[in-house]
Amino acid sequence: MQNSHAITLNTCEMQPPQPMELVLQAIDELQTGQYIKMIHRMEPQPLYNILLDNGYRYKVDTSSGLFNIYIWKAVDKLAESHVKINFD
């Protein structure tokens, strides 16, 4: 389900390093209350440390068989609350 708070990036068909480049560009453009939902066919392990080191948080959901990675600014409690709705 798409909403105005989510920026969905489907990177399933992309080859490295395109998914990493795309998500890193997108996080720079996040506005208050927004988060990224990155859909990937495999787990992007290197991305996690980059996010944490640069003030972002993330949650991963694999219930669909794909990696749905929700990313938001650590200081953005509004975005975090929107992400939590997806897990409740």
Please indicate, yes or no, if residue 81 is contained in any of the structural domains.
yes
Place of tokens 């992007």: 44
- Please, which residues bridge with residue 61 across strands? 68
Q: Would 69 be classed as within a structural domain?
A: yes
pTM (2 decimals)?
A: 0.92
* 24 found inside a domain: yes
What residue numbers bound the domain in which 23 lies?
6-85
Per-residue pLDDT of the chain (88 residues; tens, 9 = 90+): 446 799 999 999 999 999 999 999 999 999 999 999 999 999 999 999 999 999 999 999 999 999 999 999 999 999 999 999 877 6
Domain count within the chain: 1
Domain membership flag for residue 1:
no
DSSP per position, the chain = ---TTEEEEE-TTPPTTHHHHHHHHHHHTPPTT-EEEEEESS--HHHHHHHHHTTEEEEEE-TTSSEEEEEEETT-HHHHHHHHHTT-
Domain of 26: which CATH number?
A: 3.30.110.40
